[in-house]
Amino acid sequence: MPTASGPEQLTSADLNHDCLPDFVVAANLGKAVSVLLAKAGGGYEPAAKYDFGMPKFYPAEGFASSYLALADLDGDGSLDVASTKRLSDIVGVLRNKGNGSFGPELTYPTGTDPYGLIAGDFDLDGAPDIALAAYTGNSLTLLSNVACSP
Ligand SMILES: [Ca+2]
Ligand SMILES: [Ca+2]
Ligand SMILES: [Ca+2]
């Protein structure tokens, strides 16, 4: 299954509510997030448990996409994608339209050169937030979610 070039990290979850696991891949060289949606009826043969459609590529604002986190960041019930951009000072958020396709990437400021990230409700208000480790900035950025009011 092809992805954008230089895939670094991947994660899996059901992005389109069909109970089949989909994949999201962060690509460094290709500067994109690749989304592969599982197709129903893929069978259970070895190494081909699920058949995937052609991946969709979401350009990463011209920066290498390194790490991913999935969470329902806008509170609409579908998982969204947050990805760090190496050698930048932003994190990108792709909002799931509910069917596993995504709108234009939104960006938010971080420390210098964000790398690893995790999603979690760090301020205990019920909405998922994002914490990022900034590689050359030697810092941790905590982005509190104000878009989601559960
Ligand atoms: Ca799915
Ligand atoms: Ca969502
Ligand atoms: Ca929160």
pLDDT at 119: 96
CA of 39 to the centre of ligand 1 (A): 8
pLDDT of residue 10: 92
C-alpha distance from residue 126 to each of 120, 147, 150 (Å): 9, 12, 7
**pLDDT-derived band at 149, boundaries 50, 70, 90:** low
> pTM for the complete prediction?
0.85
Contacts of 96 (CB under 8 A, 6+ apart): 15, 76, 78, 79, 80, 81, 102
Q: How far apart are CA 81 and CA 70, in angstroms?
A: 5
What does the pLDDT look like over 56-102, one tens digit per residue?
777 766 677 789 999 999 999 999 999 998 888 889 999 999 999 99
Judge whether residue 52 has pLDDT over 70: no
- Which-ligand-closest: CA of 130? 3
Whether 118 shows a pLDDT value over 70: the answer reads yes
Region at 115 (left for phi over 0; alpha for psi -120 to 50; beta for the rest): alpha
Ligand 1 centre to CA of 99 (Å) is 8
pLDDT of residue 53: 59
The pLDDT score that the predictor gives to residue 65 is 79
How close is the Cα of 40 to the center of ligand 2, in Å? 22
